[in-house]
A and B are shown apart, each in its own frame.
Chain A
Amino acid sequence: MKQRTIAAACLSALMLVGCSSHLLFVEEDHLGLKARFEGNNPAPAELSLGYHRGIVAMIPQQSDEPSGSTNQVSVTRAGTGTNTVITITHDPDELMSLYTIFRANVGLWDPVETHHFLATGTAASSLLANHNELREITKNLKGFNGSKGGGQ
């Protein structure tokens, strides 16, 4: 009984450690049974049996905690004599940009081959504004021989 309690406590602690982490990009393939659970719900949120492949990219937020702000942008003005300082603050709840390219060899027994590019926030916005740079990155990723699968 005691051993069972210790084992359950260890497993719970392990689960809690995992809860605090989040993933930005996930590419997975699976053969067999896979069950995903959500917090406080013992029934699986997703169940797959057989072959399953998925690519998920999360759009990051400016802040982890909701701010409660209803304005997308807040502007504050502070004047000292002849100087005026204008501060523009974005809503912390606002979603950031994300751009990603993934190319990989995903065979069961094949040698691993992974090429992944990812940009978020201002980096992604700047990149998307610069077509030449974007074209260059895409071209370089497609230059790898033998890669298959993936997307952008």
Chain B
Amino acid sequence: MKYLLNPLRLCLHMGLLAATATVQGCLSLQMTKSDGTPQVIGCGSTTLVASGDGDVYRVKAPGFSVRSYAGLSGLSLGWQEVLLFYPAHSPATNRMRETTEPIAYQKKTIGMDISAFMLAVGYDRVFAVPMPAAGTSVIQFVSYSDREPWKTRVERKEMP
């Protein structure tokens, strides 16, 4: 009874139990290739879900997974799905600056997630935009829908 009255401990233990049950030997390392696109070593998958006016990659990593993306490093235990948004390349018009890093990402975790200065147990979803270089003015647009991936637009322009 005393155990049940401590919601913090109960929640943590339930989360650990659920996460451990889902691991079942699934281990993976999420990282980026030299061209900046994501790859998963181990149990997990990377899919290009939209391409054209911007690329969107979906990374699925069940079980225990270590992420080593810039600005998104951490560990997860349970189910994790990451969407990485890369801007469209327009070298012909030189309208958009090419970048090898995602300009935004969405991370969905069910289980446990540990990153720099953050611990989450349960369901957690984060959409985030990394900070550009100091003093750089940025204008960017991200539009994505699972229902209509062909309408995806990921654009970014930087001005020093």
Q: Using a CB–CB distance below 8 Å, which chain A residues touch chain B?
A: 11, 14-19, 21-39, 49, 58, 60-64, 92, 96, 102, 104-106, 108, 111-124, 127, 144, 146
Given A112-B144, A124-B137, A32-B15 contact (CB < 8 Å): yes
Q: Using a CB–CB distance below 8 Å, which chain B residues touch chain A?
A: 7-8, 11-12, 15, 66, 68, 70-75, 83, 104, 106, 114-132, 134-147, 157, 159
Docked Cα-Cα span, A17 to B121, in Å, equals 22
B131→A22 contact, CB < 8 A: yes
From A27, A30, A115, residue with most partner B Cβ within 10 Å? A30
B123: chain A residues at CB < 8 Å are 30-32, 108
- With both chains docked as a complex, state the minimum distance between the C-beta of B47 and any C-beta of chain A, in angstroms: 13
Q: Which of B119, B135, B139 contacts A62 (CB 8 A)?
A: B135
- With both chains docked as a complex, state the minimum distance between the C-beta of A131 and any C-beta of chain B, in angstroms: 17
A25→B128 contact, CB < 8 A: yes
A21→B130 contact, CB < 8 A: yes
Docked Cα-Cα span, A1 to B137, in Å, equals 49
Residue of B nearest to A119 (CB): B139
B142→A115 contact, CB < 8 A: yes
B127→A28 contact, CB < 8 A: yes
A37: chain B residues at CB < 8 Å are 117-119
A116: chain B residues at CB < 8 Å are 104, 127, 129, 141-143
B125→A118 contact, CB < 8 A: no
B126: chain A residues at CB < 8 Å are 26-28
Q: Which of A14, A36, A58 contacts B74 (CB 8 A)?
A: A14
Q: Which of B119, B132, B146 contacts A113 (CB 8 A)?
A: B146
Given A26-B126, A30-B125, A34-B124, A114-B131 contact (CB < 8 Å): no
B15: chain A residues at CB < 8 Å are 32-33
Docked Cα-Cα span, A39 to B116, in Å, equals 10
B128: chain A residues at CB < 8 Å are 23, 25-28
